[in-house]
Structure 1
Amino acid sequence: MRAVQVTEYNHPPVVQNVPQPTPAAGEVLVKIEACGLNFGDLLMVKGTYQERPALPFTLGMEVAGTIAAHGEGVSSPPIGARIAIFGGSGGLAEFGTFTAALCVPLPDNMDFPDAAAFQVAYSTSHVALDYRAQLKPGDTLLVLGAAGGVGLTAVELGKLMGATVIAAARGSDKLAICKQAGADHLIDTDTDDLREVVKSLGGADVVYDPVGGDLFTAALRACKPEARVLTIGFASGTVPQIAANHLLVKNINVIGFYWGGYLRFKPEVLTDSLKQLSIWYAEGKLHPHISHTLPLAQAAEGLELLRSRKSTGKVVITL
């Protein structure tokens, strides 16, 4: 079968022919139909992600497809079931083996590309906003990197959860997409003073930050007392250093959040989130934004779209 593999860190991944895997006990074999790309895939190519599979390994964190075979002790989901799964790696291939217990059934009205674009981005934002930051109706939510894969879902979910949403992104085209997702106020980070604009709107109760760098510092200074600042990632390449006195003066909480970490110590947080998100999708309340759909042979081009920030929402590879 074909698979997109990292054979050496800091080198472009390559499409290779590799043996089709066999599911071990507790696993299922999935015929993969679509795989969503994530910023974490770029870090895995460099060897700097939180998880480091042994080389060579197949890229692709989240997939959608059908159950093709069961490993020992597995009877569910049944053969032929349409599922999505976050496997951490192994998704950019024609087949993959994954832990059966982590499979999520797809709503009848969800196609495979939407399913591959859904799990990480929506559940990252949902668990961060609901479980970690306890976003409430009437709160003001500031979303940095708001046109990106997770940022756009934070805009959409924040509005659905009753918040006033301020979306910060680069350029009018990206801000227009944020507006369509429900943003109440827009900040162009190329030209606007983020701190001053947010303060003029009354300040932020919750900050959702997948960017880091200078934007984190500006957002922190625009927070209301008792604000909650979610550190989602550092797409800017700069991990901000926090002046603790700023936290003290306004009683601000800075909250670390790594979605994949819950798989190891509290997976029910993620499965409960995905159940709620699936209900909202089935009810027509969520609309995944996929800016690019590419075939497996162009997976490297898809990753470059993420790296150069030329995509909005999600990039999906179809098999």
Structure 2
Amino acid sequence: MLAYRILSQGEAAQICDIDKPDPQEGQIRVAIKACGLNFADLLMQKGTYQDTPSAPFTQGMEIAGVVDAIGPGVSHLNPGDRIAVYSGQGGLAEFGVFDADRAIPLPDSVSFEDAAAIQIAYGTSHLALDHRARLQPGEALLVTGAAGGVGLTAVEIGKLMGATVIAHARGADKLTVAQAAGADHLIDASEDLRTRVKELGGADVVYDAIGGDVFKAAFRATNPEGRLLPIGFAGGDVPQIPANHLLVKNLTVIGFYIGGYLTFRPQIVRDSFDTLFRWCAEGRIKPHISHVLPLTDAEKGLQLLRDRSATGKVVITP
């Protein structure tokens, strides 16, 4: 089978022809129909992601497909079942072996492409805004990088939760995408973020995927008792947070990493995915997928993320 693999850390990933794996105790083999790409995939290539596997390994963190075979001890799944798996690795291949307890059944009306696009991006936003930040109806939610794969889902879910959503992105095209997802107010990256947010009454919750100076500006535009979620650092700089400002404005900075919950509270992730797949089946959410590419174009898809030229998700279909 074909797989997109990192053979040695620091070297470029490449398409390889490898043996099809067999499922072991508690595992399933999946015929992979779609795999979502993520910024973390780029970090894994550099070896800087917190959960980078030891080389060699197959890239691809979130997949959807059909159960092809089951290993010993698996009784709740059968060959032919449509499922999604937040795998962390192994998704950019024609087949993959995964722990059966990570598989989530897919409603028939949810496409494989949508299922692959939902898990990390929507799961991150849903758990961060609901479980961690406790976003309330009527609050002002500021989303930076609002047209990116994760930011766009925060706009959509924030609106579903009843918030007033302020979207920050670069350029009219990306802001139009955020507006279509439900944003109430639009701020171009060329504008002064702090000034514009303050003019709109400030932010009660900040969902920041950029870091650096963008986070600093958002921090200064946060209302007293506001909550800040530093989701990612696509801008390259990890912000240093002045604790004295937290004290004066009674602010809360909330750490959140969806992968961590797979270790100590996996049921929270499963419940979130069940909710999101149901919402998708009901038409309440619809992933914005800007590119669908074959496995042989996996590197092209990752380059779209490097260049920040994708709006929403890039999905690979092995």
The aligned residue for residue 277 of structure 1 is 276
The aligned residue for residue 311 of structure 1 is 310
- For 1:141-193, what per-residue CA distance to the aligned partner results, in whole angstroms no more than 9, with x for missing partners? 0001000001000000000000000000000000000000000000101x210
Q: Does the CA-based 8 Å contact 2:152-2:178 persist in structure 1? A: yes
The aligned residue for residue 16 of structure 1 is 16
The residue identity in structure 2 corresponding to 1:43 is: L
The aligned residue for residue 184 of structure 1 is 184
1:115-264 superposed matches below 5 A: 115-189=115-189, 191-264=190-263
The aligned residue for residue 45 of structure 2 is 45
SS of the residue corresponding to residue 287 of structure 1 reads coil
Q: Does the CA-based 8 Å contact 2:139-2:205 persist in structure 1? A: yes
Residue 8 of structure 1, CA deviation: 2.5
Residue 10 of structure 1, CA deviation: 3.1
Structure 1 window deviating more from structure 2 (11-20 vs 128-137): it is 11-20
Instruction: Determine the C-alpha separation between the residues in 2 that align with 1:249 and 1:317.
Output: 47
SS of the residue corresponding to residue 195 of structure 2 reads helix
Instruction: Determine the C-alpha separation between the residues in 2 that align with 1:108 and 1:296.
Output: 24
Instruction: Determine the C-alpha separation between the residues in 2 that align with 1:86 and 1:158.
Output: 23
Unmatched segments (≥5 aa) in structure 2: none
The aligned residue for residue 84 of structure 1 is 84
Instruction: Determine the C-alpha separation between the residues in 2 that align with 1:199 and 1:9.
Output: 45
Q: Does the CA-based 8 Å contact 2:115-2:277 persist in structure 1? A: no
Residue 107 of structure 1, CA deviation: 1.4
SS of the residue corresponding to residue 91 of structure 2 reads coil
The aligned residue for residue 65 of structure 2 is 65
Instruction: Determine the C-alpha separation between the residues in 2 that align with 1:246 and 1:313.
Output: 33
The aligned residue for residue 112 of structure 2 is 112
The residue identity in structure 1 corresponding to 2:155 is: V
- For 1:22-55, what per-residue CA distance to the aligned partner results, in whole angstroms no more than 9, with x for missing partners? 1110110000011000011001111011112121
The residue identity in structure 2 corresponding to 1:44 is: M
Instruction: Determine the C-alpha separation between the residues in 2 that align with 1:203 and 1:11.
Output: 45
Instruction: Determine the C-alpha separation between the residues in 2 that align with 1:8 and 1:305.
Output: 23
Task: Give TM-score, length-normalised by structure 2.
Answer: 0.99
Instruction: Determine the C-alpha separation between the residues in 1 that align with 2:181 and 2:52.
Output: 34
Residue 11 of structure 1, CA deviation: 2.8
Q: Does the CA-based 8 Å contact 1:12-1:300 persist in structure 2? A: no
Q: Does the CA-based 8 Å contact 2:2-2:94 persist in structure 1? A: yes
Task: Give TM-score, length-normalised by structure 1.
Answer: 0.99
Q: Tell me how large the CA RMSD over aligned residues is.
A: 0.7
The residue identity in structure 2 corresponding to 1:269 is: I
Unmatched segments (≥5 aa) in structure 1: none
Instruction: Determine the C-alpha separation between the residues in 2 that align with 1:74 and 1:295.
Output: 31
Instruction: Determine the C-alpha separation between the residues in 1 that align with 2:286 and 2:167.
Output: 17
Instruction: Determine the C-alpha separation between the residues in 2 that align with 1:52 and 1:152.
Output: 25
Q: Which 4+ residue blocks in structure 1 deviate beyond 6 angstroms?
A: none
Q: Does the CA-based 8 Å contact 1:36-1:62 persist in structure 2? A: yes
The residue identity in structure 1 corresponding to 2:166 is: I
Instruction: Determine the C-alpha separation between the residues in 2 that align with 1:39 and 1:9.
Output: 17
Instruction: Determine the C-alpha separation between the residues in 1 that align with 2:20 and 2:205.
Output: 45
The residue identity in structure 1 corresponding to 2:41 is: D
The residue identity in structure 2 corresponding to 1:217 is: K
Structure 1 window deviating more from structure 2 (149-158 vs 279-288): it is 279-288
Instruction: Determine the C-alpha separation between the residues in 2 that align with 1:54 and 1:21.
Output: 18
Instruction: Determine the C-alpha separation between the residues in 2 that align with 1:70 and 1:276.
Output: 26
Instruction: Determine the C-alpha separation between the residues in 1 that align with 2:240 and 2:285.
Output: 35
SS of the residue corresponding to residue 254 of structure 2 reads strand
